[in-house]
């Protein structure tokens, strides 16, 4: 058993939680290893120190005060105030972006414009010569630049 494993098991050894074979292995290691033995001694001293502390029962008014404090809404901390400020800024920025989007949309697509808006103005109407050469297009049919480019030599 290596030192790391033994040191992980020291608390369990002190609390009498190990099985007998594990306990024997750890004790055997402690006899031969100065470092683990020192760690074991320190843990034993700590346990003894905590065991010697006087046991106090919490006073009833202390318990009532704690219940009252937990039932109250916590006061805003510096972190939550800062978080709220960041959230407010983010929402403001989003609102401004949305407003700009709506304004640009209103400019590009005025209320009385024909359906299709900007896309309709970008349509390429094939010249009569191209349309006459291709049976797929008529003069009345609008053709996109992409469609027209497929027919050009
Ligand atoms: Zn060791």
Radius of gyration of the chain (CA): 41
| More confident: 140 or 130 | 140
Burial group, residue 147, by CB count within 10 angstroms (0-12, 13-18, 19+): middle
Q: What pLDDT score was predicted for residue 77?
A: 76
What does the pLDDT read at residue 124? Answer: 57
**Residue 4 alpha carbon to ligand 1 centre in Å:** 7
Instruction: Give the whole-angstrom CA distance, residue 35 versus residue 30.
Output: 8
How far is it, in rounded angstroms, from Cα 73 to Cα 141?
A: 69
pTM above 0.85, yes or no: no
Cα separation, 102 vs 133, in Å, equals 43
Ligand 1 mean position to 21 CA, how many Å? 17
58-98: pLDDT as tens digits? 777 887 888 888 887 766 777 777 888 888 888 999 999 99
Are the C-beta atoms of residues 17 and 23 closer than 8 Å to each other? Answer: no
């Amino acid at each position: 058993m290596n030192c790391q494993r033994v040191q992980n098991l020291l608390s369990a050894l002190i609390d009498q939680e190990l099985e007998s074979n594990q306990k024997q292995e750890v004790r055997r290691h402690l006899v031969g290893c100065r470092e683990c033995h020192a760690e074991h001694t320190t843990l034993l001293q700590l346990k003894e120190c905590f065991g010697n502390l006087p046991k106090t029962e919490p006073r009833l008014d202390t318990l009532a005060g704690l219940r009252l404090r937990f039932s109250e809404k916590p006061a805003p901390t510096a972190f939550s105030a800062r978080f709220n400020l960041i959230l407010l800024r983010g929402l403001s920025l989003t609102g401004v972006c949305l407003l700009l989007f709506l304004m640009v949309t209103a400019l590009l697509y005025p209320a009385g414009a024909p359906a299709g808006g900007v896309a309709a103005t970008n349509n390429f109407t094939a010249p009569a010569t191209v349309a006459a050469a291709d049976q797929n297009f008529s003069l009345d049919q609008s053709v996109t630049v992409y469609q027209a480019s497929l027919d050009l030599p």
